[in-house]
């Protein structure tokens, strides 16, 4: 069997942020289930949470 890719925490947080901004709800839920600490991350500039990013990008799901 093949081995899965190992992502750094930075890569995971970038993927999560992109999924939030793009409204990829299934991806957001899957990543949040696997890495619950992602839900408490804030952007370096402005301290925005995932909820803030989603709302700013018109995501209401």
Polymer length in residues for the chain? 61
> What's the domain count of the chain?
1
Indicate the Cα dihedral angle 30, 14, 58, 42, nearest 10°.
100
In a domain, 47, yes or no: yes
- Is 4 inside any structural domain? no
Question: Can you give the pLDDT of all 61 residues of the chain as single tens digits?
Answer: 444 445 687 888 889 988 988 989 999 999 999 999 998 888 878 888 888 888 887 877 6
- pTM for the model: 0.73
Domain that holds residue 21: 9-56
Q: Note whether residue 36 is domain-resident.
A: yes
Q: Is residue 3 part of a domain?
A: no
* Predicted pLDDT of residue 29: 94
Please, are residues 27 and 19 in contact by the beta-carbon 8 Å criterion? yes
- HEC sequence for 2-47: CCCCCCCHHHHHHHHHHHHHHCCHHHHHHHHHHCHHHHHCCCCCCC
Instruction: Check residue 24 and give its pLDDT.
Output: 92
């Amino acid at each position: 069997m093949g081995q899965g890719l190992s992502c750094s925490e930075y890569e995971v947080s970038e993927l999560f942020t992109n999924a939030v901004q793009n409204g990829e709800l299934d991806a957001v839920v899957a990543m949040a289930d696997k890495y619950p600490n992602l839900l408490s991350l804030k952007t370096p500039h402005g301290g925005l949470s995932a909820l803030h990013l989603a709302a700013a990008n018109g995501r209401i799901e």
